[in-house]
Structure 1
């Protein structure tokens, strides 16, 4: 089995929490796999010069990760050999201490968060809404609101995008990897603006984002954990990034959350692949799944055909086949059957 080494998140943890830089970790891994290695062997394994390898071994020795093996010099050269300390000893104890520190930091974070919420609840009306000015500041808060989320991010995305494009929002990718749930409601115009628009959403959806489509949205906004929202002061897309409002816990925020939940419930899910567990009498392939998604979102046959790269006649034929398999006679009945069967889940 090929060992590609630890990921960047593990490397960052070992560097910051243990003092084991990527360069030192690479040398330590050589010694773990090849006990009693010489400087020359370590240098060859890492494709570095002897001086570089010797410096890494010296640093590892200072950290307690390696030591010289007693009585194991090469005959004739007296070149010292090095042996790695047991990983459970040198890494286990350090990581355990790091975990204790992280738990204490989390406890402090929870305390500060509670203090913050109480201060907000006791504050006046002036504390509920904070206005930030300038495109750079708005973009900063757009990222900050999301990055502070611990469980859920909800967003309305109108066309055209005012703050950032999907490719630029790396914060979302990081949060999804951490288990934060993303629910994004898009205007239909977002799909209309790009040929093959469904494919543009594939990366986000497959990374863990839940997306739905609706005809139009009343505003742009992003909400984190249902207790902090960011929305533009002006609805005009050409000025949306000029100033934005931060809305903290209040009846106003409750109204924004309720608005999102209501429109989310009414919107059509974006379906890119055939759902698992689809009944035998149901959609036949991924194209059918995407077609249903578009029709439920209110697309005409022609618009759906443009999105799928097929002809309107093919759309009509596939719809008839879907109706036959579902045992219904109208498109309205097909939509009801699709929702009941979970085709769009």
Structure 2
């Protein structure tokens, strides 16, 4: 943790953490505790001494004493905070230069091309890390995965994450219902539609990545990066249009509005049913039985006081059961 937050090397963090647990110690004693060479430990202690994290004992200069963590580490923390503030100022300056250059782009500079599935995955990962406001994602198979379905770290720092999945992907179990539940729990907004017109990844409404469907050879895969332009505006409008038409996906009864006598399983079955999945596919997604799914759908129709599934879907829409909280 110290090595991550305060910039200490792992060996420095280990030696300091051991030193603060004893009154004082020689390099040889510490070496025995951590399983390192005594000369290496002595060199590390010298580095800690230079950082103000360790001092030599007044009674015996061969022994080292740890500096109080509250005082010594706070100084390092303040320095790191100052470095981060300077980095943020530098980033803002670079961003202004980039935006000024972007405003002067010609037609040939609006679109960049990246090649290879691995390169595309790496670029998407970088994009997620750099997002500040919103990520908008149209998803269809095959997926250029960047790890998890969603970047929880981006959501944690306030990035809105909206995803539209093609229904066929649910039929194939990629992503699985469990993965969608995890993504929803992390804060992702998920909707399902019959078909997605193209793969699309828009970040902060400033640029978009459009993976192209082409050769099955991963090395031949390509993607377009679209910078600020009327084309990017059109892609944003396309996403918003698809978002408005897609079916909201809920994973708990708490997300339903004005829907009495419905538990989490009912809500999940209703949500999957309205996406067009068959009862058999719903049962597979929820690790349940076909009979349970059919019985629950009958219960939902009784609650809605309707006679068939078409009426159930109309009733759910009319009463706003699936409207987001």
TM-score > 0.5 by shorter chain: yes
Q: What is the deviation of 1:235?
A: 4.1
Structure 1 residues 172 and 53 mapped into 2: Cα distance closer, same or farther (>3 Å)?
Answer: same
Of 250, 255, 269, the residue aligned with 2:229 is: 250
Of 36, 39, 48, the residue aligned with 1:60 is: 48
Tell me which residue corresponds to 2:142.
Answer: 160
Whether the aligned pair in 2 keeps the contact of 1:182 and 1:208 (CA below 8 Å) is yes
Whether the aligned pair in 2 keeps the contact of 1:154 and 1:224 (CA below 8 Å) is yes
Is 1:291–2:272 an aligned residue pair?
no
Tell me which residue corresponds to 1:69.
Answer: 57
Q: What is the deviation of 1:67?
A: 0.8
The superposition leaves residues 148-182 of structure 1 with CA deviations (integer Å, 9 ceiling, x where unpaired) of 32222211111232xx236x469935544554332
Report which stretch shifted further, 275-284 or 244-253. 275-284
Q: What is the deviation of 1:225?
A: 0.8
Query: Equivalent residue of 2:58, what SS?
Result: coil
Of 309, 313, 323, the residue aligned with 1:332 is: 313
Tell me which residue corresponds to 1:3.
Answer: none
Whether the aligned pair in 2 keeps the contact of 1:176 and 1:209 (CA below 8 Å) is yes
Whether the aligned pair in 1 keeps the contact of 2:150 and 2:188 (CA below 8 Å) is no
CA distance in 2, matches of 1:246, 1:299: 34
Structure 1 residues 175 and 118 mapped into 2: Cα distance closer, same or farther (>3 Å)?
Answer: same
Tell me which residue corresponds to 1:229.
Answer: 208
Tell me which residue corresponds to 1:14.
Answer: 6
CA distance in 1, matches of 2:154, 2:259: 36
CA root-mean-square deviation: 3.3
Of 101, 109, 113, the residue aligned with 1:119 is: 101
Structure 1 regions of 5+ residues with no counterpart?
1-5, 74-78
Structure 1 residues 218 and 276 mapped into 2: Cα distance closer, same or farther (>3 Å)?
Answer: closer
Q: What is the deviation of 1:231?
A: 0.8
The superposition leaves residues 247-282 of structure 1 with CA deviations (integer Å, 9 ceiling, x where unpaired) of 111111111112112212322233334537977824
Tell me which residue corresponds to 1:42.
Answer: 30
Q: What is the deviation of 1:315?
A: 1.8
Structure 1 residues 237 and 169 mapped into 2: Cα distance closer, same or farther (>3 Å)?
Answer: farther
Is 1:27–2:15 an aligned residue pair?
yes
Aligned residue runs from structure 1 range 188-337, under 5 A: 188-194=167-173, 197-232=176-211, 234-236=212-214, 238=216, 242-275=221-254, 281-285=260-264, 287-326=265-304, 330-336=311-317
Query: Equivalent residue of 1:33, what SS?
Result: coil
Query: Equivalent residue of 1:275, what SS?
Result: helix
Of 114, 128, 132, the residue aligned with 1:132 is: 114
CA distance in 1, matches of 2:261, 2:280: 23
CA distance in 1, matches of 2:110, 2:217: 23
Structure 1 residues 337 and 31 mapped into 2: Cα distance closer, same or farther (>3 Å)?
Answer: farther
Whether the aligned pair in 1 keeps the contact of 2:192 and 2:249 (CA below 8 Å) is yes
CA distance in 2, matches of 1:259, 1:320: 37
Report which stretch shifted further, 185-194 or 80-89. 80-89
CA distance in 2, matches of 1:36, 1:141: 49
Structure 1 residues 68 and 295 mapped into 2: Cα distance closer, same or farther (>3 Å)?
Answer: same
The superposition leaves residues 35-69 of structure 1 with CA deviations (integer Å, 9 ceiling, x where unpaired) of 33454653454344544443432331232211122
Whether the aligned pair in 2 keeps the contact of 1:143 and 1:171 (CA below 8 Å) is no
Q: What is the deviation of 1:135?
A: 4.1
Structure 1 residues 313 and 279 mapped into 2: Cα distance closer, same or farther (>3 Å)?
Answer: same
CA distance in 2, matches of 1:301, 1:246: 40
The superposition leaves residues 117-141 of structure 1 with CA deviations (integer Å, 9 ceiling, x where unpaired) of 2322232222222233444544443
Aligned residue runs from structure 1 range 180-195, under 5 A: 180-194=159-173
Aligned residue runs from structure 1 range 81-100, under 5 A: 81-100=63-82
Whether the aligned pair in 1 keeps the contact of 2:213 and 2:221 (CA below 8 Å) is no
Structure 2 regions of 5+ residues with no counterpart?
none
Structure 1 residues 275 and 37 mapped into 2: Cα distance closer, same or farther (>3 Å)?
Answer: farther
